[in-house]
Amino acid sequence: MREFRSRSSRVLITTDLLARGIDVQHVTLVINYDLPTQTENYLHPIERSSLFRRKGVAINFVTKDDTRMLSNIQKFDE
């Protein structure tokens, strides 16, 4: 984590649980391999990583089963 914050490491891999407690500025890319079951749990790591309302990219890997949650996330963010 120290290396990531000091920018000597450009990649940080974490679980959804750990990501909730991370507060790192200047993140420009977040990749989600699984969508959470609640909309707020998706937006919280995005807000904490400074992507919320700033330039950056969030990539989500989704399946057919995730389409409803993805739709809810998009509506919640509008």
Q: Note the pLDDT tens digit of each residue in 4-19.
A: 778 888 787 776 655 5
Structural domain range at position 35:
2-77
Instruction: Band the pLDDT of 69: cuts 50, 70, 90.
Output: confident
Full-model pTM: 0.62
Domain count, the chain: 1
For 69, residues 6+ apart whose C-beta sits below 8 A from its C-beta are: 35, 36, 37, 39, 42
Return the CATH number at 13.
Answer: 3.40.50.300
